[in-house]
A and B are shown apart, each in its own frame.
Chain A
Amino acid sequence: MAENITFGLAADFENPHTLMKAAKRCRDKGFKSWDVITPFPVHGLEEAMGLKRSRVPFFTFIGGATGFITGTFIAWYMNAFDYPLIVGGKPLFSPVFPFPVMYELTILLAALSTIAGMFILNGLPRHYHPVMKAKDFAATTDDTLRITIESSDPLYDSEKTRVFLQEIGGTNIQELED
């Protein structure tokens, strides 16, 4: 094994328009292990990269359903089953009066699981990543738009990929260490 394993190649693009065109070229070329690093979400880039719709809503739904059931259950268990408490001649349990509790717990757990889902799907927190090793990585959280193609991609070839990145308008092409 070589001492410096290459993570891949990175190239910078001038503006969101050229970046978008380049991303479409990468997608059409058939790359799988590649990414676009941008300081802000570029509208329509997910589509240009061919990314699928995010699966975060699945987590949200599970959380929300859990919250709703929990709210209903605790209201019934605590006031009608475990310690029946007669207050103001009202029924011990009804889906109406604890509705605010069910509603708030639905939102609370849905929000918590949305964020958990976002972190899980993104594989964060991950305080180290090869793209951060680039000397000018700081520029990508400021104003630089960068495409990275990883060496693990079956289509990757250090020479051909470099030429390809140049062809699609990339500048400042650099090799990223793993």
Chain B
Amino acid sequence: MVFSDQFPLDSKTPAPPEVMADVKPADLPRPKLVENDRSFGWITNKVCGIVEEKTPTWWWVAFACATSLASFTVIGLTYLVSTGVGVWGLANPINWGWAIVNFVFWIGIGHAGTLISAILCLLKQPWRTTINRAAEAMTIFAVACAGIFPVFHVGRVWFAWWLFPLPNANAIWPNFRSPLLWDVFAVSTYATVSVLFWYVGLIPDLASVRDRAKSKFRKIFYGIFAMGWRGSTRNWNNYEMAYLLLAGLSTPLVLSVHTIVSFDFAVSLIPGWHTTIFPPYFVAGAIFSGFGMVLTLMLPLRAIYGLHDLITQHHIDCMCKITLATGTIVGYAYTMEFFIAAYGANPFEIFAFINRAFGIYSWAYITMFTCNVVTPQLFWFKCIRERPHVVWVISIFVNVGMWFERFVITVTSLAREFLPSSWGYYSPTWVDVFTFFGTFGVFSTLFLLFVRFLPLIAVAEVKAVTPQADPHHYEEGEHH
């Protein structure tokens, strides 16, 4: 399909300049979104078939591993609740250790899902349709994992509801001048809106699964969640408007969430935290880490379920390029922080940054810089992007690097504050380690359940971007 077919030139558009005839610009075909000209029926069968087939053995094995790993979080949290928050490695002067590192890490992962579903929807990027469902699921599960850390960090978890402005026996209210309260609003709104957006997208596909269901139980189960969707165009009219509005609402939301998370740091006066670059830098980092995770999840799924016609090389290319772009922005932010520290001539700030790169935590800084700035540069090369195994390994580097970024930001600044009398060194305890690594199990368990029970590709949306769904597609024979 050539450009002019997608954006037909009407009679009012001026004719292309005469020079074009001599130049003969190359006809650059748009990459196909669905390979091998698959029919609507094929797409439905392929995606709904995954939900309908007998549970494969690999799924049971993966599920067993994931739940076992998740039990580590349960052990860590049980020990914490029964003993006290002191079992984590947090101690003066580093009162924010892995807890906030893991929180920011998981929240950041979620951002790619919303970027794909909302921002790319507004930018009319049709390639988003095959990956948005799974990426949004990733968002929701990542936010669920993120929520564990602040909720348990409050110590007496049964009072976690005091975070919300609800009347309680103490007769006082939360402090609206605190960025931590802003965070409560931002993260809870983000979780709610992400779930709603995901669910609205699922409705037409749940209707497909309902109508294909053989057993009574499946018919009722999927039927209830499909809300009686019948594909009426009068309904599609409202549905598409609602979807567009949700995309429009999610876009400022996703940008605000990591901005507000960065306020947790930036509104304080700690050297290394008190910088205005934090909001854009955090948002870029979040999208970067999220795309790393999307690649980590989608490449194995594509291989296991043979989804090569739906998640094509073009999709992988696009994701790699976004990872490269955001990784480079992150690298720019790292360097710019140093420049501003030097240019600002604040001795504490200068010290904070020299300490960050060359101090006691330089090992973490080097890991962060290598994983986040150096490795994604490999995505410049087509031969790298065309090798899914290599892309997958790089995506793991991105995940690791972004965890270290949050560690570097949080710990290096607290370990070397203004007064040498309040200097220290932070190490996590086994409870920290159990709780954090267990969240990968929690995340994987939820994701595996999603893959098993819900259509992992947005069937209706993919059909809508195929060439045969476009009424103008059939006119070609008549006009050309």
Give A residues with C-beta under 8 Å from B.
15-20, 35-46, 49, 51, 53-57, 60, 74-75, 78-79, 82-83, 85, 87-88, 90, 97-98, 100-101, 103-105, 107-108, 110-112, 114-115, 117-119, 121-122, 124-129, 131-132, 137-138, 140-143
Contacts and interface: CB of A to CB of B under 8 A. Distances in A.
A88 B179 CA distance: 13
Contact of B239 (A18, A36, A100, A118): A118
Question: Considering the complex of A and B, which 4 residue pairs feature the smallest CB-CB distances, nearest first?
Answer: A17-B474, A78-B173, A143-B40, A54-B241
Interface of B: 39-41, 44, 165, 171-179, 181-182, 185-186, 189, 192-193, 196-197, 200, 204, 207-208, 210-212, 223-224, 227-242, 245-246, 249-250, 252-253, 256, 260, 263, 460-461, 463-464, 468-475
B55 to A, nearest CB: 23
Nearest to B252: A107
Which residue, of B229, B231, B235, B240, has the highest number of chain A Cβ atoms within 10 A? Answer: B231
A118 B238 contact: yes
B193 A107 contact: yes
A19 B232 CA distance: 14
Nearest to A124: B227
Contact of B246 (A36, A103, A111): A111
Given A40-B464, A46-B236, 5 more contacts: A39-B44, A42-B464, A56-B238, A103-B256, A107-B189
A41 B192 contact: no
B463 to A, nearest CB: 4
A20 to B, nearest CB: 4
A140 B39 CA distance: 14
A98 B40 CA distance: 49
16 contacts: A54-B237, A56-B241, A78-B176, A83-B172, A87-B175, A100-B185, A101-B182, A107-B249, A111-B197, A115-B200, A115-B242, A118-B238, A127-B228, A141-B208, A141-B211, A143-B41
Contacts of A122: 232, 234-235, 238-239
A75 B176 contact: yes
Contacts of A51: 233-234, 237
A92 to B, nearest CB: 9
A88 B474 CA distance: 68
Contact of B469 (A40, A53, A114): A40
A100 B182 CA distance: 6
A77 B159 CA distance: 23
B174 A78 contact: yes
B121 to A, nearest CB: 13
B211 A36 contact: no
Contacts of A118: 200, 238-239, 241-242
Choose among B41, B241, B245, B249 the residue with the greatest number of A CB atoms under 10 Å from its CB.
Answer: B245
Count chain A CB atoms within 10 A of each CB in B189, B204, B233 and give the residue with the most: B233
Contact of B242 (A40, A49, A117): A117
A37 B193 contact: no
A37 B174 contact: no
B407 to A, nearest CB: 25
B276 to A, nearest CB: 16
A172 B154 CA distance: 64
A125 B470 contact: no
B173 A82 contact: yes
A140 B231 contact: yes
Contacts of A57: 241, 245
A46 B174 contact: no
A39 B232 CA distance: 9
B463 A39 contact: yes
Chain A CB within 10 Å, residue with most, of B239, B241, B464: B241
Contacts of A83: 171-173
A114 B246 contact: yes
A45 B145 CA distance: 42
Contact of B233 (A15, A18, A42, A142): A42
Contacts of B250: 111
Q: Identify which of B175, B197, B238, B263 gathers the most chain A CB atoms within 10 Å of its CB.
A: B238
Nearest to A140: B231
B175 A111 contact: no
Nearest to A41: B236
Given A49-B233, A143-B39, A79 B474 contact: no
Nearest to A60: B245
B466 to A, nearest CB: 9
Contacts of A111: 192-193, 196-197, 246, 249-250
A44 to B, nearest CB: 6
A115 B196 contact: yes
Given A16-B468, A42-B233, A108 B192 contact: yes
B474 A15 contact: yes
A176 to B, nearest CB: 12
B464 A137 contact: no
A108 B193 contact: yes
Contacts of A140: 230-231
A35 B234 contact: yes
B244 to A, nearest CB: 9
A83 B300 CA distance: 54
Contact of A129 (B177, B230, B464): B230
Nearest to B241: A54
Contacts of B189: 104-105, 107-108
Contacts of B238: 54-56, 117-118, 121-122
Nearest to B251: A107
Given A87-B175, A107-B249, A142-B208, A42 B471 contact: yes
Contacts of B260: 100, 104
Contact of A114 (B235, B249, B464): B249
B256 A20 contact: no
Contacts of B181: 101
B175 A37 contact: no
A83 B171 CA distance: 8
Contacts of A90: 177
